[in-house]
Amino acid sequence: MPISPETSDHLSALGHFGTDPGSLGADTYVPKNLPKGRPLVVVLHGSTQSPESYNIGSGWSALADECGIALLFPEQRKANNPIGSFNWFKLGDSHRGGGEPLSIRQMIKQVVDDHAIDPSRVFITGMSSGGAMTSVMLATYPEVFAGGAIIAGLPYRSATNMMEALVRMNGYGSPSDSQLDALVRGASTFTGPWPTISVWHGDDDTTVDNSNASSIVRQWQKIHKVEGPPTHVEMVDGFPREVWCDADGRVVIEQYIIGNMGHGTPISAGGDDGLGKEGKYMLEVGISSTRHIADFWGLTS
């Protein structure tokens, strides 16, 4: 049975975690008696949301209790952005070694050290501005993450100011495929192995056009050496899942385009495997992105 939100949604503030150049807050959720060497999932909320509201809606802490994983929830402050968006499009907050990305990196190191996390099993996910900041983190600190999941987000460095961000959100003017590839390769000196990528988007999203989902896929295809059409397509909970496999047969990119869904995180709250709670930008569509993302990362077995 799913764990009720009343018993599993309480987050704890993370105190000092470094110089915090991005002036972010941070909360954690760590199941009681978590053994050493367990994974960590970093969860980035969207605009107008808080770590608590995103956690309740997505059900991550219930899954953490079920599977034995630690959670980190970076939090944007209104002083940085009036609607609580991560500043994924600002030059000072989209590069390695400074701003919000360095703050999130410092938080991760603190939680890994505090709870003896397996550093080879750190993952990151986010929705909307949190999804776009997930793209930033995967590009700027790829050595930190085994995988990332971008929900209703945008590619790394597809915009460099607010005006460009609004244009890209509307589906116009995305960088070329070669530019998208070069932006990730230029974000660090990393040469691989690269984090796996999971992309989720609603086909009726009028806030962030779903053309951004295919741009994210294309940004990572050449890096993973899986250019071209998907290796195969399957139906999962009534929705198509496209997957790209590398030469060894490992799935390195997956994409879900959720039919008749607007802007938000897909959830499935009912039934024995239900997670989360329907709410603003937490959309009950009969598929739990949280559970399927965790399964993609090998956290549910």
Share of the chain above pLDDT 90, in %: 95
Say if 166 falls within a structural domain: yes
Tell me the whole-structure pTM to 2 decimals.
0.96
C-alpha neighbours within 13 Å on the C-beta side of residue 172: 5
Closest CA to 293 of 236, 238, 244, 225: 236
Q: Which structural domain, as residue segments, surrounds residue 240?
A: 5-296
CA dist 253 and 250 (Å) reads 9
Residue 106 sits in a domain of what CATH number? 3.40.50.1820
Domain annotation covers residue 210: yes
Q: Identify the CA nearest to 168 among candidates 103, 94, 95, 240.
A: 94
**pLDDT the model gives residue 161:** 95
- Phi-psi map region of 152: left, alpha, beta (phi>0 left; psi -120 to 50 alpha): left
Write out pLDDT tens, residues 110-154.
Answer: 999 999 999 999 999 999 999 999 999 999 999 999 999 999 999
Inside any domain, residue 219:
yes
In a domain, 168, yes or no: yes
Does the pLDDT of residue 2 top 60, yes or no?
no
In a domain, 231, yes or no: yes
Token pair listed for 248: 């060894």
Q: Residue 301 domain-assigned?
A: no
What angle, rounded to 10 degrees, do the helices at 129-140 and 177-185 form?
60
CA distance 253 to 174: 20
Please state, in angstroms and as integers, the Cα–Cα distance from residue 194 to each residue in 94, 118, 225, following that order. Answer: 19, 17, 11
Mean pLDDT over residues 14-38, rounded?
96
Residue 99 half-sphere exposure toward CB, CA atoms < 13 A: 17
Stretch 3-16: mean pLDDT:
68
Number of domains in the chain: 1
Angstrom CA distances, 92 to 32, 48, 116, stand at 37, 22, 31
Beta strands in the chain (DSSP E): 12-13, 25-29, 40-44, 70-75, 122-127, 147-151, 196-202, 232-236, 239-245, 251-258, 265-267, 282-284
39 and 121 in contact (C-beta within 8 Å)?
Answer: yes
Name the catalytic one among 8, 58, 128, 158: 128
Higher pLDDT, 7 or 292: 292
Mean pLDDT of all residues in 232-251: 98
pLDDT at 27 over 90: yes
**Cα 177–chain centre separation:** 21
3-class SS of residue 130: helix
Q: Which residue reads 């116009």 in tokens?
A: 172
The proportion of the chain whose per-residue pLDDT surpasses 70, expressed as a percent, equals 97
128 is catalytic: yes
